A and B are shown apart, each in its own frame.
Chain A
């Protein structure tokens, strides 16, 4: 009640000052004014590419009445002669939270606390708190003049305002920055619908990862469509209803970096949606891929500060990518423009709004054209929001939002005088302040001085020129049309007194009276003689000729990325010891020819046929190492729903993970990126080749079978979280989760079959079943279209899962880790499941205390297809040695042991028809080793994927040198920036977490 009263008082208080609204009460007599102005003699940018000189702009009641040359000024208009000053449409920021209240953080469900399984939102809304499509910014929007001024001072007249909360954030509203009632400033109540990869205030258990966010949005698209398909909805979901109602609006996605742009675009493509993306200023790092999305971008100007690199040991900790991004970030817009990507600019992301102009001018110095900059502030945002008929240009009938500037607004010394919003002026600088700049002869008593006045109108600076090298500073202040001056004519004479003058402007000159140091009064005058001598005239901004020299973009954008992504070659490796991993066994003194990405010949004395020849004498050539269980190359690993089969690692492949390169240095060529082990039914895997430098999608192995991670034991029953309430908490419950999920999938299938069998008319009457992504995945498993890799340790649970699978008539594909596999190896062989295990891990948790380093040997001897795996970015570089431990511990035949790192993991991943051995026709994925690959002394000298050398030990050492030189150059450049007064931040390390199975990450978007 109190709040309401205050609000009313506020509205009543304002109504007297502001444009009246007929529906509001008046506490005064009527005071209606026409508010009609004519701005004459102006250079008007009616749109970003149309400049009209000597034009007149007519506005009335907040709208534009007309603009053009030779317009006559109707009666009753106040005429403002702009004398050649410039008029631009006021700028538009289409990415703000202006006037939005903070979202309240939901309670409970925090890290380590009891999980919040259900939504806590009151009302008939979506089952997931992160879906807030029902939210409408215009309903809670308040005018905040102090905030508005921040934008107005920069030249902005209108902004799009939304609330940053949730994966689906509801609608935004287009408002002006006038200080008026919301009713007046809201130009368009529902302008766009907003989305993100940040669940915001929700603390609900699911989703909690980048891939979960994508899955939930996908499911919501499906649910909304389903909900909309009913004549009468079987239940009420206001979020889905709102979702459907907002699909025709512009759809804006907060992506924040290029990789999320690609992810969001892929999501949109599935549902025929083209998002406008809020980008992160790093799009230059993958320009082609960003362009290929076809998305228009909203781009921030948040250029990072240089690091303080004065201390070399501190500087050592700063990553190359951060150093390079510091240098290249200001060039991002120029890259976008050259690539022909449509973009709007936003103030969002700046720590201080006031950095906007200096950063924008910097971007122009780095090659952005002024035309593109103006477009990005006016026309593009108006067009993207579908409001080009209201704002963004100056045409009859449009909102009277415009700025008056001293000249070209992008010039270093340009002044924005006034920002008119809805026909109301906001004065930023005094437009009528006199311009005193010029050279004067100051006559004072009998003396004469050369006086020089410079500076902007209203802010003059002055000096007395004694001779070519000596000046005397003059304190000069201007108050309306009056001036005060004081100076000491003889700077050497410190004791000499000041002369103080007071006077006024008279035509172009100054005159007045003053007092000498001895107290004597004098008359003085300063007669205008000449204009200031022109200083080195600066050319127009922009253009690549002015752009500073910059380092090159590397792919990926991390250390050991390449300027050019490595290309496929034809290669003949001669005279090596070849581990075929086929019946052929080990072949001494053998040549292997790689052509067009395939192995084409194996034999002695092969002809090169134009291929590059590599001498393999004394070396060993093996198939590439394959890691069945890896967590590198992904932005997130675990989601937390008990059944998260709908989430896909493939949605979050991270091509910029340096561990990909480090794995290549250990001879690894292909990996399965697995979901973690936080839940009984985890997510879908991604199978990738380590094509270092490629973008995420092109790392994926084409036409690979689908896999999914399951997990058993301590992790899934949340043994280490005392507060966990999530089902299941025991191995007994784990079994029930599986039986339930598979049974439900069968029921789901039945429901769909029944529905699909109906006639069209019967379908229309029947209740359509919901498409459920988790159930779809479970069905794929039942239908042998997707295969299970299950994290497992103890024999009871291993046996249990095999029995569950048998009950549903399918087979488990792989038990991964499986440290007690040796206890049930016979049952595994009978079931037909493979194993992917650690060589010698144990003792790190209760369930692995009976792990033995003989496990792989026993399983191999029992006929189980067995691989060694890593789960660990460090270990994966030595999987050859992990295989060799079976020789040490269990006396396994060395050749058999090496299969555990090559053909066996290929078999487990259903890739053995094209990888895992050296055989004609298979992929040219090979490693040249300095020694027997089972030996600790073996080094991978060259790792080749698809005939492309992605790791070369010699080149690696050259790159190390280049990296050192590049860093030295950047360090010097940062020092220069600092000495020129640029602000810096402390030199600190950036870390990239090395994912392992157990890691649960509350993923927050970036």
Chain B
């Protein structure tokens, strides 16, 4: 009898679920039809400001008003008003330098599309390989990431990244800023030791100079190519580089090495590259003035990592964001590549725990990356006229102890928050007869 009871519950659960229907698919949300006004929440605007008991209104996918309670909203009568008192509203988080949609299971080669053959691949474009049905995407959204730069990662010039919004039918739908940047992995002067052979010391890279001069030549040739009005022969690589010189594409320089940052930035500046972002920059404090003078933002994607050097502060990576920020360097907090980027808000939480101003930490995941990705006119903050990329959060987004992203909106569209991980939670909780409460949303 008990057995029957349990299987009966399972059948009910499969067919009904909590909201009456069992979800077994993730469907992109339709365009916003009803204007929405959120009121009563603490609003973190992403610009460094916080509004207690504020309102956010959005219609047709755009933010129409942000401000303290009582801020007037045009045609307020048309808005569906939602009381979100006691909750927090944040801009949708912007993830930089990820490989989302390019890798499904990192150890299974067939599922990895982030590394093209060869060292110089500026023409390779991540957007065309972006898989909107990647099972990782819902797990990122679940923690508040609504926009992601997805980037090739290999060789020296890895390729061109694009920014995608995380609720789409196909990559054309997803494309939010196509070909926003070229990613360059500056060669290492030294190779890490081959620990599996018992090595503990790094070795000089015998090809360092050669590689650097090849890169320099590429930029020289690309700049020259750009000065030809109508080239006889189209060179895909040089063509792809052109946006760097007119500022339409940013150059993301991947390195943690202090001296490499200087070499790479000087090389790029020499050739007229307009917008530069350093991705990594672990040793950047050693050359902080250089970065400040050159107005180069730094992406910190390993705040939860270990110190690189034995003599450093035991918790140096935790303090990095604060120390960089104090030094006057614009910081971007990222979750980096891989599935674990969904922990990005907690990296920011750690930065706050070790001294970074809370709103600065939010800005480092919203407006600052939006600027680096060239989308700050449309996203990255809660400001009138921008796309409605909005998170409603119960608790503190940065603290796993209380954080629960209740609802997210992408371009005003109310997106689905659950996916397979939640369904499996429900499936087995139901099997065992556990009460999941609101869990498994």
Contacts and interface: CB of A to CB of B under 8 A. Distances in A.
B352 A937 contact: yes
B401 A935 contact: yes
B20 interface: no
B400 A825 contact: no
Interface in B301-353: 304-311, 313-315, 338-340, 342-343, 346, 349-350, 352-353
A contact residues, range: 35 or more
Contacts of B196: 111, 999-1002
Given A843-B104, A884-B400, A937-B349, A319 B311 contact: yes
B200 A891 contact: no
Interface residues of B, number: 66
A20 interface: no
A844 B107 contact: yes
A852 interface: yes
B213 interface: no
A823 B432 CA distance: 10
A52 B438 CA distance: 95
B403 interface: yes
A891 B436 contact: yes
A861 B432 contact: yes
Given A844-B339, A861-B432, A320 B310 contact: yes
A887 to B, nearest CB: 6
Interface string A703-715: 0000000000010
Interface stretch (B73-81, B242-250, B408-416, B422-430): B422-430
Nearest to A826: B432
A849 B353 CA distance: 32
Contacts of A845: 105-108
Classify the secondary structure of B's interface with A: loop
B400 A885 contact: yes
Interface in A846-861: 846, 849-850, 852-854, 857-858, 861
A846 B349 contact: no
B401 A894 contact: yes
Interface string B267-306: 0000000000000000100110000000000000000111
Interface string B351-367: 01110000000000000
B202 A853 contact: no
Interface stretch (A175-183, A618-626, A960-968): A960-968
Classify the secondary structure of A's interface with B: loop
B424 A822 contact: yes
A852 B424 contact: yes
Contacts of B193: 991
Contacts of A111: 196-197
Nearest to B204: A986
A986 B190 CA distance: 12
B434 interface: yes
A988 B305 CA distance: 21
A957 B319 CA distance: 13
A888 B424 CA distance: 16
A854 B440 contact: yes
A902 interface: no
Contacts of B259: 313
Contacts of B349: 936-937
Given A993-B195, A1002-B196, A321 B104 contact: no
Contacts of B231: none
A428 B37 CA distance: 98
B31 to A, nearest CB: 31
A1006 interface: yes
Interface string B384-409: 00000000000000111111100000
A861 B434 contact: yes
A956 to B, nearest CB: 6
Nearest to B203: A988
Contacts of A994: 306
Contact of B428 (A714, A823, A846, A992): A823
Given A111-B196, A558-B310, A935-B399, 6 more contacts: A319-B311, A662-B306, A840-B342, A841-B340, A846-B108, A849-B135
Interface of A: 111, 313, 316-317, 319-321, 558-560, 658-659, 661-662, 665, 714, 720, 822-823, 825-826, 840-846, 849-850, 852-854, 857-858, 861-862, 873-875, 878, 881, 884-885, 887-891, 894, 932, 934-939, 956-957, 960, 963-964, 967, 986, 988-994, 999-1006
In the A-B complex, the 5 residue pairs with the closest CB atoms: A936-B349, A993-B195, A843-B339, A854-B425, A559-B310
